[in-house]
Structure 1
Amino acid sequence: MSQALDSVRAYHERTKHHFRRYADGPGGLDWATQPDPFRTYAGSPQTLLPLLAEASPIRQLRYAELYTGAIAPQPLTLVHIGALLELAFGLSAWKQYGASRWALRCNPSSGNLHPTEAYVAVQGVAGLADGVHHYLSRDHLLEQRCAFAAPALPAGGFLVGLSAIHWREAWKYGERAFRYCQHDAGHALAAARYAAAVLGWRARLLDDWADADIAALLGLDRDEDFGAAEREHPDLLLWIETNASDRRPEIDVRPLRAAAGQWTGRANRLSPEHKHDWPVIEAVAAASRKPRTQAAVGSPPRLPALLPLDCTAGAVALIKQRRSAQAFDGVTSISAQSFYRMLDATLPRAQVPPWDAVAWPPRIHLALFVHRVEGLLPGLYFLLRHDGIEARMRAELSGEFQWQGVEGCPPHLRLYRVLAADTRNAARALSCHQDIAADSAFSLGMLAEYDSALNQGPWVYRQLFWEAGMLGQVLYLEAEAAGVRGTGIGCFFDDGVHDLLGIQGHWLQSLYHFTVGGALSDERLQTLPPYAHLQRS
């Protein structure tokens, strides 16, 4: 394991951006080899999924209700499986400029490149064959990859599996792309949990499964089904629980593999050629491959109820309207109440999405560049997402930091102002000189407890990025609920962030940036409905 861990650490160092040089990338976009954003399996039987009807009572649920645990579970039907996939991974709109048109999806993605593919394994659902199916978001349908020849799943739920096609991100971002694929897995994990909440269901990460087991279940290890097509790497497996239960299901890969019947379908090739292949990505993917482990066991700390939300928007509408802002106006501020609510939503609580999908404790803290929050002095702040870390933070970060409590902040939020200053230039510079980090109400860096996490195993490297992506999805939706907009920032100067904060060594590492503010709209772009192109009776 030490060699694999060394490889993971070496990859992380190698793919840092620096003020004097960026991580290795293609140096420009080769539009002739732009990857197809949609994976398909030619020859697989297809099942059309119903779209959420405008009159569906699900559309009447308010976003704030997702956090109450009071939504009655919907029955496990084809309609509701379709609703979960639509809200988690489906299209949210098309954008068009001139002759160019591209799709947006409910789950965020770095560069809108969408390396994440979704699968379901189901049985006992009327209108859908028992087995493993690939979700094709463009057409909102399931492609049957394998039929179950025998019962294989416990009652009361179904499986959602996620994989990654690294080439989709590497085409644009080069060696750093593996990081972004892991961010997107976290985005998708949280998106699935929120979609489940709309239906009164729950999602649980099956973190004991090995990557090889997930690959076997989803058919990702079948060379004959891929040929020259870009391969998919297993990411994670979720149990979507459709009836209330406090027990985590025991799902063994062996009966699932034994139940597998005939496989069908052949994967499409996404690019006609690859002018750049990045061997370091496949090397770190192999080094961080997860073996079978014990399931994580944990319980979140007791916290007060989530701070109230001044938002009456419907859950479905808000999930579908989520966008990544391209620019901010530089003037919009948010209230302290909205700011505290966003931060509070990043803290795990029992049976509150999306954090109840994972059992591990928080391993990421937030360094916040506050620019325009009413009632708060501009400056640098820290939100500590669990106790027991404050003493080390105070001792080992910059000696210039003041660690002052914030007047009026709810006491359960471990929020500290460490520096009162105009931090707009610093935020811009550290985020690869992007104005969006300075023109916002606030921006932030996500600091992972890197050394202690990796000591658990090299595969935890990926889980750290998943947690960062989950944080991103929380902030995306909470920003929409507050009437503003967010965007993730994958380009930042890693060690520049560490130097500013006084981080020595690798006990903390910055993994992802995010920013929230008043979005500017590009009036040149036309917005089209997500599924108007489908011809269905």
Structure 2
Amino acid sequence: MPDDPHVAPSAAVAEALGVVHAYHARSKHRLERYAAGPETLDWSAQPDPFRTYTGAGVQPLPLGADALASRWQAVHRPGAIPPQPLNADTLGTLLELTLGLAAWKQAGPDRWAVRCNPSSGNLHPTEGYVLAQGLPGLADGLWHYRPREHALERRCAWPAPAVSSPRLYVGFSAVLWRELWKYGERAFRYCQLDAGHALGALAYAAAALGWHLRPVSIGHEALAALLGLDRDADFGKAEREEPELLVEVLAGGAASHTLPVIPPDAVWHGQANVLDRWPMYRWPVVDEVARASRRPAGVSEHASPADAALPPLQPAATEVRAATLIRARRSAQRFVRDAQQDLASFLRLLDALLPRTGLPPWSGLNAPVRVHPLLFVHRVEGLAAGVYVLPRSASAVTTLRSALSEGFTWDQPEGVPAHLPLYRLADGTTAKITRTLSCHQALAADCTFTLALLAEFDATLAAAPWAYRELHHEAGLIAQALYLHAEAEGLRGTGIGCFFDDAVHALLGLADARFQSLYHFTVGRPQPDARIASEPPYPDRR
């Protein structure tokens, strides 16, 4: 299939593009109505947030995050953290800081887990898999990660040839039903954003170990086979998983560029558990867009999105350990309404969104920069309230100026570093506007600033319907960077997937689909809720 927007797509690709565009339009929230979703929710019948494979051998992993000394600042200095050896112990730390539990929460009779990777509605559609070869302490094969127990279960074993150094791949899939149960037709978007968050969490966890990621370009069918997700007999009536991403984890060595091969005589283990025994709704349009947006085989890799010309990133001056900060990340439930943010911390947060060579989370991305923050500044000291934009690539300055309202000023505020492409579009109080645009949520008004992530939509999707997922993954990566850097600044963030798409576009003067808003995000001073108690994530293993 062609990967060049100037090449006419085939009939099959054109049909898939039509499905993707139709789904995106259909799944928009509008001021006069929300996207189709369930009419009622029974929280006592929520789908099981933990997938297991009955009959697969389980290997507990050590909890190593408490012993990881890497500082948050060192994560942002390439080469500052000596690479840890690849083995079962360090793999345990990697997964603990990526998909592991961060805490148990309790309010009255309700008890729930929060994880290091954020998720829409805390529903966690993302599942993690490990392909290991030559790792001391771990048998070769395919393993599924169980975050509740912090353990691996062995899905597939095969006699692999000896290797000179350990090889490790991590794959992500999405259990679409976990989001569909609550969010209906818009859920596919949230699953893709969550995959981007998980990829970002993996990139930061790897960096804290002195490792980095290499994205793997692989088609849908090959990835499904590699992760065992195409095995009908292993799922039966259980909810299926949609393969999303695969990356190689590198501990200072060279990339292999050769995928593991599961031989025909490999031995598979385990039967997937049923997550929801009494589903009340069906959303066939989500199955349609999932099929239409699957990556075909043979699509060439893109160049790295990182910009080597940027100066070194200067994160918040804190001595906090990276593992401590990662596990402390939470989504704010409320903000202190009148809180101010200082200009220096605001600029550091924006600077962290520019893709730098060798820094997380951008090492996990296999696509050019195509998502750009539009900012609604409410209360930042030294910066006028109003609407701003941060084009994350040089070409985006031109394309955004041509697409947005001609009435915008495009001024560059004083006191902003020369390398930071921040433009003021319009002055004025925006809190009431952003609250309305974000489905009337107070979070979008009480924060110090909120943003909408604008994606280069039509040009990206031209002849490449699978790029619909990539755009959401990039948006999730940006939001993951904001989550962690906000924590480092003593602030807190919250992703907002509910917003009125075309009302946002109308405010900006967007008359076509050159850009589309894919995700909203807020940052502010959190207001703690004393009613919620917090407990350790793995109390029985301390």
TM-score of the aligned structures, taking structure 1 as reference length: 0.96
1:84 match:
94
The match for 1:18 among 23, 26, 30 is 30
What secondary structure, in the 3-state scheme, does the structure 2 residue paired with 1:438 have?
A: helix
* TM-fit CA distance, 1:154: 7.6
Alignment partner of 2:278: what SS? Answer: coil
Question: Which deviations, in whole Å up to 9, do the C-alpha atoms of 1:212-255 show, x marking residues without a partner?
Answer: 1111011100010111100001001010011244xx53124xx5
Q: What is the alpha-carbon distance in structure 2 between the residues aligned to residue 408 and residue 154 of structure 1?
A: 52
Q: CA deviation at 1:402?
A: 0.9
Is 1:289–2:294 an aligned residue pair?
A: yes
Q: How far did 1:127 drift?
A: 2.4
Distance 2:105 2:398 in 1: 48
1:268 paired residue number: 273
Distance of 1:296 and 1:172 partners within structure 2: 35
Task: Give the partner amino acid of 2:294.
Answer: R
Q: Deviations over 1:110-153 (max 9, x none)?
A: 00000000000102223221100000000000000001222387
SS in 2 for 1:107: coil
Question: C-alpha distance in 2, partners of 1:95/1:115?
Answer: 19
Q: How does 1:65-80 map to 2 (within 5 A)?
A: 65-69=74-78, 70-80=80-90
Bigger shift: residues 324-333 or 121-130:
121-130
Q: What is the aligned partner in structure 2 of residue 420 from structure 1?
A: 427
In structure 2, the partner of 1:234 is 243
User: Which residue is equivalent to 2:138?
Assistant: 128
- Partner AA of 1:437 in structure 2: A
Q: Match of 2:351?
A: 344
Corresponding residue pairs, total: 527
How has the CA–CA distance of structure 1 residues 271 and 342 changed in structure 2, closer, same or farther, with 3 Å as cutoff?
same
> Contact 1:147–1:260 (CA<8 Å) still a contact in 2?
no
Helix, strand or coil at the partner of 1:394: helix
1:532 equivalent to 2:539? Answer yes
CA distance in 2, matches of 1:298, 1:362: 9
Looking at structure 2, the residues matched to 67 and 156 of structure 1 have their Cα atoms a distance apart, in angstroms, of 25
CA displacement, residues 155-205 of structure 1 (integer Å, 9 cap, x when unaligned): 343000100000000100000000000000000001001000111011121
Say whether 1:222 aligns with 2:231. yes
- Structure 1 stretch displaced more, 373-382 or 255-264: 255-264
Other-structure match for 1:192? 202
Q: Distance in 2 between matches of 1:259 and 1:358?
A: 31
3-state SS of paired residue (2:539)? coil
State the Cα deviation string for residues 248-281 of structure 1 (Å, max 9, x = none): 53124xx512276100000000011210011111
User: Relative to structure 1, is the Cα distance of residues 53 and 180 closer, same or farther in structure 2, using a 3 angstrom cutoff?
Assistant: closer
Give the equivalent residue in structure 2 for 1:433: 440
- The answer to whether the 8 Å contact 1:152/1:256 transfers is no
Matched residues in 2 for 1:359 and 1:214: separation?
16
Contact 1:73 1:243 in 2 (8 A): yes
Match of 2:53 among 36, 41, 45: 41
The residue aligned with 2:515 is 508
Within-5 A mapping of 1:316-335: 316-335=323-342
Task: Name the SS for the 1:187 alignment partner.
Answer: helix
Question: In 2, are the aligned partners of 1:220 and 1:234 still within 8 Å (CA)?
Answer: yes
Alpha-carbon distance in structure 1 between the residues aligned to 2:177 and 2:227: 19
Give, in angstroms, the shift of residue 53 of structure 1: 6.2
Unaligned runs of 5+ in 2: 1-12
Q: Aligned partners of 2:48 and 2:61: how far apart in 1?
A: 22
| Residue equivalent to 2:70 | 61
The aligned counterpart of 2:128 is: 118
Separation of aligned partners in 1, 2:163 and 2:275: 33
Which of 139, 149, 156 aligns to 1:139? It is 149
1:373 matched to 2:373 = no
Contact 1:166/1:232 (8 A) holds in 2: yes
Conservation of the 8 A alpha-carbon contact between 1:383 and 1:414: yes
Distance 1:369 1:241, change over 3 A: same
Name which of 186, 211, 214 aligns with 1:176.
186
Identity rate of aligned residues, in percent? 52
Normalising by structure 2, we get a TM-score of: 0.95
For the aligned residue pairs, the C-alpha RMSD in angstroms reads: 1.5
How far apart in 2 are the matches of 1:344 and 1:147?
A: 44
Amino acid at match of 1:48: P
The aligned amino acid for 2:26 is R
Cα 1:119–1:311, aligned 2, differ >3 Å: closer, same or farther? Answer: same
Q: Deviations over 1:399-446 (max 9, x none)?
A: 221111110001111101111100001110100010100100100000
